[in-house]
Amino acid sequence: MSLSKYNQKRDFEQTKEPKGKIEKSEKDLLFVVQKHAASHLHYDFRLELNGVLLSWAVPKGPSMNPEIKRLAMMVEDHPYSYKDFEGTIPAGNYGAGNVIVWDNGTYTPAEDTASPQKTLTENLKKGRLSFILKGKKLKGEFSLVKLKGKQENAWLLIKKNDKYASESDILLKNKSVISKKTLEDLEKKAEKKTSTAAPKKKKTIKKAVAKSEAAVFIKPMLASITEKPFDDEDWVFENKYDGYRTIAVLNPGEVKLWSRNQLSFTANFEPLIPELEKINHTAVLDGEVVVENSKGKASFQLLQNYLKTGKGNLKYYVFDILNLDGNSTVKLTLLERKELLKMLLDKHKLSNVFYSEHTVGDGIKEFEKAIKNQSEGIIAKKADSNYLIGKRSNDWLKIKIVQQEEAIIIGLTEPKKSRQHFGALLLGQYNGKKLQFIGKCGSGFSDATLKELYETLQPYFTSEAAVTEKLALRDSIQWVEPKLVCQVKFTEWTDDLHLRHPVYLGLRTDKKASEVLLSSKNKTTAPNTVIMDKSNETPETKKDYDLKIGKITLHLTNQNKIYFPDDGITKGDIVQYYNEVADLILPYLKNRPQSMNRFPNGINASGFYQKDVDVDKIPSWLKTEKVYSESNDKHLDYLICNNKETLLYMANLGCIDINPWNSTIKKPENPDWLVIDIDPAKDKFEDVIKTALTVKEVMDELESDCYCKTSGATGLHVYMPLGAKYNYDQVKMLAELLAIEIQQRLPAITSLERTIKKRNHKIYVDYLQNRRGQTLAAPYAVRPVKGACVSTPLEWHEVNAKLHPSQFTIKNVLQRFEKKGDLWRPVLGKGINIKKILALLENRKKD
């Protein structure tokens, strides 16, 4: 328990908040809840323990409804004397805004104990606190449960179902229990005082007295791409700078600049060093280095020229701070970090280092402004997001205006007429693991650039092409190993996914070739890395064609056959979908026996399951495995789908959905996941959602992760990773115990009855899927239902009243998958601890 962070964040000459010192109650432990209108309205939930107030920020405030679980972010400990603090924290200070004491009282551990503080301290370390509040508003038993596998400081605040539980909104009681004032009353008072008071001294950052640890490079957080601007009060919007992402590491007497991949920029951007040395703090800053023209417009080409000549107006726009005086700031919200950063930069008069300004909520207006200023675009950032080190996140979004791309140089064409060295660059981008040709670039070169670039590329000349497709070019080609990345601007993407009118801007020494991926909007229509041979196509035969994948040629038949009559979706559409989604789905099929669910005549005709394949009649390149089938009481030749060609072979057989085993042929008796299959009763999908959230609640209480996806048909699937550490008997036993717990919590809407008639229209919580040989639709698989719905992995916040499986179809999911990435990846992770869970369940029985 320490108050050092609390003290470091505050200037007590500016704020009336109490200074931090250890104190405690004489008798009963106290709690306090403060309503705090800072950058965002939230409630600060504080529990006295060991002389300080443990503190959690609860964005949506506490609830008396056991069905509602509130996210609570643990923050720094606060001093005991903070229990009575009400008033205004002045602008420019940490946590600036108005505060009232919304509720207070005493509390005790939920369990009987001779030593409450010792018990609470032990439970805090375990990540689960249960306690009884005796407040003026909050009463009865609550729990704080730490979320495993999430942010370090993320917890859930949960009301227990007791006599005080209520569905009424306790937050409507909005007055202070001390002053009887509302936040609005304080705000009016503060405005009145500000209008008549003399200007106050500006807040400053005090450097920590203790010597801080040396600052080190931190791999930056990356943004995802979205196409349209939007307005949202929970987001801030910044200019997108056309330069080099740069991390500045500031230590006493030494400043170092690094690229996003930790290449040194210190020498390249040496004029920035003296300015950054003026910042008399240890710090790690994140920003963008640009070169601006006389009108103040940044240009990547000008930056390239600067690197060669040293001439140009070099500037560093800083938009984030990751460490200050040895204190990591990545767990602070974005607005808190930016507030701290602005205070730091305002403290010093710097000529070429600038704070990157932002606006709140007005994304469309900011985008229009960027268009007017001929900027590259804007960046949207979630205001309450933490800094995710080295990760690409949907909390940050790039919205581009100028058409620019990073491209890998894969070859050169011969020079023509008076041009020297080479004619054009051949460019590529990765589509999954395959390199795809995206066009050639012959503009943007000076004579000096042609010579310099040719000499740079010479060591990488090779006789082997980097792409497998045959290029329709008449030029003589010098192939180049795909190592170097360049930046180009262009007018548009053509229908065959080539850049139209690309212009060379310069090399990207800060980017690795492996990071240069085909744009998401093109992946939804791109033919991946396969070549479709339609040279002999006629109106009569175009329903059949050959598709080449590497060395394998597939003969695809009846591609015009309608599989989904109400939607006009053909067999060819299904084959193409699996072609596009192969990289996502294959990890969940690899080495798993396939039960093929075939619909050769479409979804309105009878389908059938096929487990056993005739090895004498299938292509020799297909992989099969003899596996004993309990239901057939014999060994069957199961098809094993480990690559795209097998996946598309199955789709061509009429396999609309893909159904793998829960275990692999390497460990056939040990499933990789446990699944709770939630089958709906009639059309009551709201009950399905409620059941899935109850599964999540149970697993949170058992300190274990779980993941949800739509079945693609009418239900939801909740998976728990196992890491193939347990056998089917152990897993089925746990699944049954979980199902019983879920059913007991929701007796009115759920049932464990297998027989439909006995369920009485209730939801079936199916745990029997956890048996050897059982299968469920794989994530990303199409389902044979109207609309061609797809079994789609979800984020838990999406499991709400707006959700329905019909939202996700082959017509829209590819853009979602590109944006969110593989949400299902953790299911193949380390796995939950069954023994620990069983012990927790056993202890619960004893209680």
pLDDT given at position 151: 53
pLDDT tier, 367 (very low <50, low <70, confident <90, very high otherwise)? confident
Q: Does some domain include residue 536?
A: yes
Q: How many domains does the chain have?
A: 5
| pLDDT higher than 60, residue 205 | no
Interatomic CA distance for residues 451 and 612, integer angstroms: 62
Regarding whether 646 and 756 lie in a shared domain, the answer is no
Q: Closest Cα to residue 60, out of 32, 36, 27, 96? A: 36
The answer on 395 and 442 residing in a single domain is no
Gyration radius of the chain's alpha carbons: 31
Which one of 35, 83, 159, 240 is the catalytic residue? Answer: 240
Q: Give every CB contact of residue 512 below 8 A, 6+ residues apart in sequence.
A: 261, 485
What is the C-alpha end-to-end distance of the chain, expressed in Å?
Answer: 30
Choosing from 379, 400, 421, the residue where a domain stops is: 400
Round the average pLDDT of the chain to a whole number and report it: 86
- Answer yes or no: do 255 and 354 share one domain: yes
Do 696 and 810 lie in one domain? The reply is yes
Least confident residue range of 1-5, 72-76, 178-182, 595-599: 1-5
Domain identity same for 511 and 541: no
Q: Are 460 and 481 in contact (CB under 8 A)?
A: yes
Residue whose token pair is 């979804």:
603
Residue of 82 and 296 predicted with greater confidence:
82
Q: Are residues 284 and 374 in the same domain?
A: yes
CATH code, domain with 798:
3.90.920.10
Residue 664 forms part of a structural domain: no
Query: CA-to-CA distance for 51 and 39, rounded, in angstroms?
Result: 29
| Residue 624, both tokens | 């099969």
Residue 667: partners with Cβ closer than 8 Å, 6 or more residues away: 724
425 and 443, same domain (yes or no): yes
Give the DSSP H or E segment for 331: none
pLDDT band at residue 39, thresholds of 50, 70 and 90?
low
Is the model's pLDDT at 540 over the cut of 60?
A: no
- Of the candidates 27, 11, 29, the one whose C-alpha atom is nearest the C-alpha of residue 19 is 11
> Following DSSP, what letter does each residue of 336-378 receive, concatenated?
HHHHHHHHHHHTS--SSEEE---EES-HHHHHHHHHHTT-SEE
Cα separation, 127 vs 146, in Å, equals 5
Task: Name residue, tokens 């004619």.
Answer: 423
- Write down the residue that tokens 């054009």 correspond to: 424
Helix (H, G, I), strand (E, B) or coil at 45: strand
On whether both 686 and 817 belong to a single domain, the answer is yes
Q: Could you give the dihedral angle defined by the CA atoms of residues 15, 17, 18 and 24, in that order, rounded to the nearest 10 degrees?
A: -170
Quickly state the pLDDT bin for 693 (edges 50, 70, 90): very high
Residue 706 has pLDDT above 60, yes or no: yes
Q: Reply yes or no on whether the pLDDT at 308 is more than 50.
A: yes
Q: What is the pLDDT of residues 247-258, one digit of tens each?
A: 999 998 889 999
Helix (H, G, I), strand (E, B) or coil at 72: strand
Mean pLDDT of 591-595: 93
763 inside domain: yes
pLDDT at 536 over 50: no
Alpha carbons 243 and 302: distance in angstroms, whole number: 9
Q: What is the mean pLDDT of residues 748-762?
A: 84
Burial 724-760 (b: 16+ CB within 10 A, else e): bbbebebbbebbebbbebbbebbeebbbbeeeeeebe
Q: Are the beta carbons of 14 and 201 closer than 8 angstroms? A: yes
Same-domain pairing of 830 and 683: yes
Q: Determine the average pLDDT of the residues in 532-542.
A: 37
pLDDT at 32: 97
Comparing 97-106, 237-246, 344-353, which segment has the lowest mean pLDDT? 344-353
Q: Is 35 exposed, middle or buried (0-12, 13-18, 19+ CB in 10 A)?
A: buried
Give the highest mean pLDDT range of 148-152, 288-292, 343-347, 466-470. 288-292
Nearest to 703 by CA among 554, 507, 837: 837
Q: How much is the pLDDT for 209?
A: 37
From 456, 453, 454, select the one nearest 505 (Cα to Cα).
453
696 — phi, psi (to 5°)?
Answer: -60, -40
Sorting pLDDT into bands at 50, 70 and 90, what band is 522? low
What's the pLDDT band for 847 if we cut at 50, 70, 90? Answer: low
Q: In this predicted structure, what is the pLDDT of residue 499? A: 84
- Is 208 a residue whose pLDDT tops 60? no
The answer to whether residue 203 is domain-embedded is: no
Say if strands 377-382 and 392-400 run parallel, antiparallel, or are unpaired.
antiparallel
- Containing 210, the helix (H) or strand (E) segment is none
Give the CATH number, domain containing residue 344: 3.30.470.30
Rounded Cα–Cα distance for residues 243 and 509 (Å):
12
Q: How do the residues of the chain divide into helix, strand and coil, expressed in percent and rounded to 5?
A: 25, 30, 45
Closest CA to 334 of 390, 280, 383, 286: 383
Mean pLDDT is lowest, of 224-238, 491-505, 621-635, for 491-505
Among 601, 627, 657, the domain boundary falls at 657
- 416 lies in which domain range? 404-518
552 in any annotated domain = yes
By DSSP bridging, strand 87-89 and strand 41-49 are unpaired
Same domain, yes or no, for 257 and 369?
A: yes
pLDDT tier, 298 (very low <50, low <70, confident <90, very high otherwise): confident
pLDDT, residue 331, reads: 87
* Sign (positive or negative) of CA dihedral 810, 707, 221, 384: positive
- Assess contact for 340 and 321: CB atoms under 8 A: yes
Q: Please tell me the distance from the alpha carbon of residue 384 to that of residue 233, in angstroms, as a whole number.
A: 11
Are 502 and 443 in contact by the 8 Å Cβ rule? The answer is: yes
Percent of the chain topping pLDDT 70: 92
In this predicted structure, what is the pLDDT of residue 450?
Answer: 92
Show which of 610, 626, 657 is a domain's final residue.
Answer: 657
- Residues 138 and 58 sit within 8 Å (Cβ to Cβ): no
User: What pLDDT score does 551 carry?
Assistant: 79
Return the ∠ at Cα 491 (arms to 488 and 496), rounded to 5°: 90
Active-site residue, 690 included:
no
DSSP 82: G
Assigned token pair, 671: 């499933």
Contact 226, 520 (CB under 8 A): no
Q: Which two tokens stand for residue 38?
A: 């800072």
pLDDT band at 541 (very low <50, low <70, confident <90, very high): very low
SS3 592: coil
Reported confidence tier of residue 519, pLDDT bands at 50, 70, 90: low
Same domain, 144 and 263: no
Q: Which two tokens stand for residue 537?
A: 């196509």
What average pLDDT does range 481-493 have in this prediction? 84
Taking alpha carbons only, the member of 387, 396, 428 closest to residue 411 is 428
Confidence of residue 46 (pLDDT cuts 50, 70, 90): very high
Q: Look at residue 443 in the predicted model and tell me its pLDDT.
A: 85
Is the pLDDT at 836 greater than 60, yes or no? yes
At residue 835, the 3 state secondary structure works out as: helix
Secondary structure (DSSP) of 395-451:
EEEEEE-S-EEEEEEEEEEPP-TT--S-S-EEEEEEETTEEEEEEEE-BS--HHHHH
Instruction: Please report whether residue 229 resides in a domain.
Output: yes
Of all residues in the chain, the percent with pLDDT exceeding 90 is 43
Q: Are 225 and 392 in contact (CB under 8 A)?
A: no
Is 251 in the same domain as 391? Answer: yes
Query: In the prediction, which pLDDT does 211 show?
Result: 53
DSSP at 63: -
Q: How far apart are CA 34 and CA 546, in angstroms?
A: 68
pLDDT band at 683 (very low <50, low <70, confident <90, very high): low
Among 595, 619, 616, 618, residue whose Cα is nearest residue 607:
595
Three-state secondary structure readout of 180-201: CCCHHHHHHHHHHHHHHCCCCC
- Domain CATH code at residue 507: 2.40.50.140
d(CA 453, CA 430): 22
Per-residue model confidence (pLDDT) at position 533: 39
Give the Cα separation of 412 and 409 in Å (integer). 8
CA distances to 131, 700, 838, 839 from 843, rounded to whole Å, are 17, 16, 9, 6
What pLDDT is recorded for position 201?
41
Does position 204 have pLDDT exceeding 80, yes or no?
Answer: no
Of the given ranges (190-194, 296-300, 311-315, 802-806), which has the lowest mean pLDDT? 190-194
Residue 106 CB neighbours (<10 A): 15
259/265 Cα distance (integer angstroms): 6
Task: Tell whether the model's pLDDT for residue 526 goes beyond 50.
Answer: no
Dist CA 221 CA 398 (whole Å): 12
